[in-house]
C-alpha cells in the first residue's frame, strides 16, 4: 500500500524526492540506504542527514557578498540525503541529491512492510558559467543605488530572493551550474520584478536523447524453450538547433532497462535486467512475473525521459499482453481544446455563472471543439480563481456544485469533455488551512513550506516570525503560499482532492505543475481513471513530466517562436527550429504537445501583432501534430487578455476562420496523426510575390509505419499583412482550407512550370 513508486532516474546534483504512496499521516516511516555507488558519501545503513536544513541546491553557486551574506546565503547544499522539512521525528519524505553516478538503493520501512526504492543517477550534466550584466543595465528608482540583485529563473524554482548576484566593478555577476541550453533569466533589483533585466544564459552542449520502445513476444527456438519477451529500443540523438544547443553524438547512445521494484523481488529484478544486450532486452516469459513494468531510459552525454511497458501473463504464462501503463485517453489523442477564463465568458452585460456557460455550450459545439478547459471554479477571493480557499466547494458567484455538474452533463451531451484547473501547488493565504498553520495549530504545522524572512520581497512585515518561519512562495506571490509536499498530511489531503473531482470531470490542467514533486504526479497518474486527461503547465518545456505523469504538455517552444515571428524578430521558417527544439529538449512525440498562441496569462496575440499574424499563427497550431488550443475570445477578436468575450461586436470572419481550422483538422487524419517535414515538396515552395521572410511551408505525411496511403498535405503559412503568391510543385489540386479558387494550375501564365497559389493567411494543399 505504501510502496514508493517506480525506479527513479536523475543525474549527479539533481535532487529527487522520494515518498510513500497513499500516506497515512498517523503512521511511522523510515528511510535507510541499502547501497550507494562507489565515490558517494552515502553508505549502507545511512539515514537522512539530521543537520540538513533545507532543499539541496542543484544549479547555483551564487555569493551574496558583503554584510548580507549570512542572511541570504543558500541553505545547506551538501547533504546527499536529507529528510523532508517537517516537525516529525521519522522520515516520511526524503530528498536525494546524488553525489556520484550509479545506482542508489534505499529501503522504506512502512506500516505494511519494507519497500525497495532504486535511483539511477547519471553523470553530472551541469556546467559552470557566469552570468554578467552591466550595472548600467539594471534599472534604478531615480538616483537610488541598487542594494541587491536577485537571480530569478526556473533553476531556483523562480524563488525571488533565494540567489543573489554580487557586484564586481561595473557588473553584477552570478556564478551558476546548469545543464546545456539557452536558459532565460532575470536579474531583479531590490525585489522589483517589474524592473528586472531579462537575458539568456547560454551553455553549449547536446540536448537529450529520445527513445521509442518496441515490445513483442517472439517464439522460442524449440518446443522445449519458452516464448520470449523482446524489448528493442530505438534511440535518436538530439538534433542541433543552433551553435549552443548542438546535436547529440549518436555513437555515444545507450539504454538502461529498469524493472519496477514493485513487481518483483530483487533477485528477479536483477535476473531480468542482466539479460539486456545493448539496446535489446530478451527474457523468456516463464522467467517473468505475472505482471511487470519495465522501463527503458536512453542516455549518452545526457540522459533522456524513459518509456515504460507493462507485460501481463496470458494463458497461464504461455503468452503475454503488452500495454502502456499510462495510456493517453483515446478522446485526448489529438483534441481541440477551448480555454475559458471563467468570469469573463458571459460577456460585458451578464455576470458569468455555470448556467450562463451552459447556455453557450451550443456555441462551443458549433465551433467544433472537443474539450472545454475552465479556469478555476472553486471558492476563491479573486476573479481569476487561482487563490483557492476551499477545494471541495465551487465559487458562490458561479453557482452550486449541482450547477457545475449540470454544465458538465451539458458538455457531455454535446460530445465535449471538461478539463478542470487543478491548483495544488499553493492555496490562498485566506484558506483556513493556512490560517490554522500560521496560528501554530499542531495538525497544520507542516502544511506549508517556510523560508527565511530575509528572502522575502513582498513588503509584508514578517518581523514577528523567527528565522526560517516566513511563508515560502514563488516570484512575489506572497498571497499564495506554497504547500509542503514533505508532509504526509498534505499529500493525503490533495490526493483526496484529486479523487473528489476525477469522478466529475474528464481531465485536469495542472497549474504550476513544475512546483509539485514528480513523485506526486506519478502517483496521481496511476490513481486517476484511464480516461482522465492530465495536462501540465510546465515552464519551460520539460519532457520528464511525460514520464508516467502527464499526457499533454504546454508547448512553450512553439509559443515563444510564434510570438517572435509575429513581432518580426524571427522569420516564419523559425517554426521548424521550434519543433527541432522540442526534440532537442527530449520530447519524442510532437503529438503530446498542446499548441497555442495565447492564454489567460499572456497578452492577446491580436493586440500585439495584428489580425493577419494571428490568423497565420492559429493556422500553425492547427496544422502541426499536437492538440491545438483556442483561448476564448481569440476567435472573436478580443484584444484584452482577460476581458469579456465580444459576443455582440466580435469579428465573425475571424470566428469562421477558426471554425474552418477546427473542421479541417477533424476531417483530415493527417493533420491529427501524421508526421511533419520541412523537406521534399515543402522545401520546393518558392515565394513569387510577397515577403518571403513571412512565409513558411511544411508537409504532413503518413506517420512512419502506419500503412496509410493518404495523400500528403502541403501547408503554406503567410504571416504578412499582404497575400503572398507561391509556386508549389506540380500535383496540387485544391486548397482545403479555402474554396479552391486560390490555386492556379496554369503556372501563372508566364511559362514558369509549377502551380501558383495565392496565400492569404494559410493554405492546406492536396
Q: What is the DSSP string of 705-754?
A: TS---PPPEEEEEE-SSS-EEEEE-TT---BSSS-STTEETTGGGSS--S
Q: Single out the catalytic residue among 263, 486, 511, 583.
A: 511
Task: Look at the block and give the residue holding cell 458571459.
Answer: 346
Q: Which residues contact 735 (CB under 8 A, 6 or more apart)?
A: 742, 743, 757, 763, 764, 765
Distance CA 433, CA 489 (A): 12
Q: Single out the catalytic residue among 537, 542, 570, 588.
A: 537
Output DSSP code: residue 659.
H
Single out the residue of 389, 478, 479, 483 nearest to residue 444, CA to CA: 483
State residue 683 phi and psi, 5-degree precision.
Answer: -70, -20
Distance CA 636, CA 205 (A): 43
Single out the residue of 720, 714, 701 nearest to residue 743, CA to CA: 714
Residue 221, classed as helix, strand or coil, is coil
Q: At what angle do helices 518-527 and 488-502 cross, to 10 degrees?
A: 40
Q: Which parts of 356-476 are beta strand (E)?
A: 371-374, 378-379, 390-394, 417-422, 450-451, 470-471
Rounded to the nearest 10°, the torsion over CA 309, 313, 314, 317 is: 140
Distance CA 109, CA 158 (A): 34
CB of 478 closer than 8 Å to CB of 456: yes
Active site residue 511: yes
The rounded radius of gyration (Å) of the Cα atoms in the chain is 27
Enumerate the β-bridge partners of residue 260: none
Active site residue 251: no
Residue 193 vs residues 69, 134, 152, 163, 190: alpha-carbon distances, Å: 22, 18, 9, 14, 9
Distance CA 691, CA 725 (A): 9
Give me the numbers of helices (H) and strands (E) for the chain, helices first please: 15, 44
Enumerate the β-bridge partners of residue 544: none
Distance CA 658, CA 506 (A): 24
Q: How far is CA 426 from the centre of its chain?
A: 18
Distance CA 29, CA 113 (A): 10
Distance CA 181, CA 175 (A): 16
Distance CA 120, CA 655 (A): 51
CB of 591 closer than 8 Å to CB of 579: no
Output DSSP code: residue 511.
T
Distance CA 61, CA 129 (A): 10
List, by residue number, the catalytic residues.
511, 537
Amino acid at each position: 500500500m505504501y510502496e514508493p513508486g517506480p525506479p527513479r532516474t536523475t543525474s549527479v546534483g539533481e535532487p529527487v524526492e522520494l515518498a510513500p504512496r497513499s500516506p497515512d499521516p498517523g503512521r511511522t516511516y523510515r528511510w535507510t540506504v541499502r547501497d550507494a555507488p562507489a565515490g558517494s558519501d552515502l553508505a549502507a545503513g545511512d539515514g537522512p542527514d539530521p543537520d540538513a536544513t533545507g532543499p539541496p541546491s542543484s544549479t547555483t553557486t551564487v555569493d551574496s557578498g558583503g554584510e548580507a551574506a549570512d542572511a541570504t546565503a543558500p541553505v545547506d547544499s551538501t547533504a546527499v540525503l536529507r529528510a523532508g522539512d517537517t516537525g516529525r521525528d521519522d522520515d516520511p519524505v526524503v530528498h536525494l541529491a546524488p553525489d556520484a553516478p550509479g545506482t542508489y538503493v534505499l529501503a522504506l520501512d512502512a506500516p505494511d512492510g519494507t519497500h525497495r526504492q532504486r535511483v539511477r543517477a547519471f553523470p553530472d550534466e551541469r556546467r559552470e558559467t557566469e552570468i554578467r550584466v552591466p550595472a548600467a543595465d539594471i534599472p534604478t528608482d531615480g538616483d537610488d543605488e541598487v542594494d541587491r540583485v536577485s537571480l530569478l529563473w526556473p533553476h531556483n524554482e523562480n524563488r525571488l530572493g533565494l540567489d543573489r548576484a554580487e557586484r564586481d566593478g561595473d557588473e553584477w555577476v552570478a556564478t551558476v551550474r546548469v545543464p546545456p541550453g539557452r536558459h532565460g533569466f532575470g536579474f531583479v533589483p531590490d525585489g522589483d520584478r517589474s524592473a528586472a533585466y531579462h537575458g539568456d544564459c547560454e551553455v553549449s552542449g547536446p540536448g537529450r536523447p529520445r527513445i521509442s520502445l518496441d515490445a513483442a513476444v517472439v517464439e522460442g527456438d524449440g518446443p522445449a524453450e519458452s516464448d520470449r519477451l523482446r524489448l528493442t529500443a530505438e534511440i535518436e540523438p538530439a538534433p542541433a538547433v543552433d551553435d549552443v544547443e548542438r546535436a547529440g553524438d549518436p555513437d555515444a547512445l545507450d539504454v538502461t532497462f529498469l524493472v519496477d521494484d514493485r513487481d518483483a523481488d530483487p533477485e528477479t529484478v536483477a535476473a531480468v535486467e542482466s539479460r539486456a544486450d545493448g539496446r535489446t532486452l530478451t527474457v523468456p516469459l516463464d522467467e517473468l512475473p505475472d505482471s511487470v513494468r519495465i522501463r527503458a531510459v536512453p542516455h549518452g552525454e545526457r540522459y533522456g525521459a524513459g518509456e515504460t511497458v507493462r507485460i501481463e501473463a496470458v494463458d497461464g504464462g504461455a503468452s503475454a499482453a503488452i500495454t502502456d501503463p499510462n495510456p493517453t485517453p483515446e478522446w485526448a489523442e489529438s483534441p481541440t481544446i477551448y480555454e475559458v477564463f471563467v468570469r469573463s465568458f458571459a460577456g460585458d452585460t451578464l455576470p458569468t455563472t455555470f448556467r450562463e456557460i451552459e447556455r453557450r455550450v451550443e456555441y462551443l459545439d458549433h465551433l467544433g471543439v472537443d474539450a472545454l478547459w475552465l479556469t478555476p471554479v472553486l471558492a476563491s477571493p479573486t476573479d481569476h480563481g487561482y487563490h483557492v480557499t476551499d477545494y471541495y466547494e465551487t465559487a458562490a458567484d458561479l453557482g452550486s456544485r449541482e450547477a457545475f455538474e449540470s454544465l458538465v452533463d451539458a458538455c457531455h451531451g454535446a460530445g465535449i469533455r471538461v478539463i478542470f484547473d487543478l491548483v495544488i501547488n499553493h492555496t490562498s493565504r485566506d484558506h483556513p488551512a493556512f490560517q490554522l498553520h500560521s496560528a501554530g495549530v499542531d495538525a497544520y504545522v507542516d502544511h506549508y513550506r517556510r523560508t527565511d524572512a530575509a528572502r522575502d520581497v513582498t513588503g509584508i512585515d514578517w518581523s514577528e516570525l523567527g528565522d526560517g518561519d516566513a511563508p515560502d512562495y514563488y516570484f512575489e506571490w506572497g498571497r499564495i503560499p506554497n504547500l509542503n509536499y514533505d508532509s504526509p498530511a498534505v499529500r493525503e489531503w490533495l490526493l483526496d482532492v484529486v479523487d473528489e473531482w476525477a469522478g466529475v470531470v474528464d481531465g485536469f490542467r495542472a497549474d504550476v505543475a513544475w512546483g509539485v514533486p514528480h513523485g506526486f504526479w506519478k502517483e496521481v497518474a496511476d490513481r486517476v481513471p484511464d480516461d482522465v486527461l492530465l495536462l501540465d503547465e510546465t515552464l519551460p518545456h520539460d519532457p520528464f513530466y511525460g514520464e508516467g505523469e502527464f499526457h499533454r504538455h504546454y508547448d512553450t517552444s512553439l509559443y515563444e517562436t510564434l510570438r517572435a515571428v509575429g513581432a518580426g524578430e524571427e522569420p516564419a521558417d523559425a517554426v521548424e527550429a521550434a519543433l527541432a527544439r522540442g526534440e532537442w529538449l527530449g520530447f519524442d512525440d510532437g503529438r503530446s504537445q498542446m499548441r497555442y498562441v495565447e492564454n489567460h496569462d499572456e497578452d492577446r496575440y491580436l493586440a500585439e501583432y495584428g489580425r493577419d499574424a494571428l490568423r497565420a499563427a492559429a493556422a500553425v497550431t492547427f496544422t502541426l501534430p499536437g492538440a491545438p488550443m483556442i483561448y476564448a475570445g481569440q476567435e472573436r477578436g478580443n484584444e484584452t487578455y482577460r476581458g469579456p468575450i465580444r459576443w455582440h461586436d466580435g469579428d465573425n470572419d475571424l470566428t469562421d476562420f477558426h471554425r474552418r481550422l477546427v473542421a479541417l483538422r477533424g476531417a483530415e487524419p493527417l493533420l491529427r496523426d501524421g508526421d511533419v517535414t520541412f523537406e521534399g515538396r515543402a522545401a520546393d515552395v518558392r515565394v513569387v510575390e510577397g515577403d518571403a521572410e513571412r512565409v513558411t511551408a511544411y508537409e504532413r505525411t503518413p506517420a512512419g509505419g502506419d500503412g496509410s496511403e493518404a495523400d500528403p498535405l502541403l501547408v503554406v503559412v503567410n504571416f504578412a499583412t499582404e497575400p503572398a503568391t507561391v509556386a508549389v510543385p506540380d500535383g496540387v489540386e485544391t486548397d482545403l482550407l479555402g474554396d479552391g479558387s486560390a490555386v492556379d494550375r496554369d503556372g501563372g501564365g508566364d511559362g514558369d512550370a509549377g502551380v501558383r497559389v495565392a496565400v492569404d493567411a494559410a493554405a492546406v494543399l492536396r
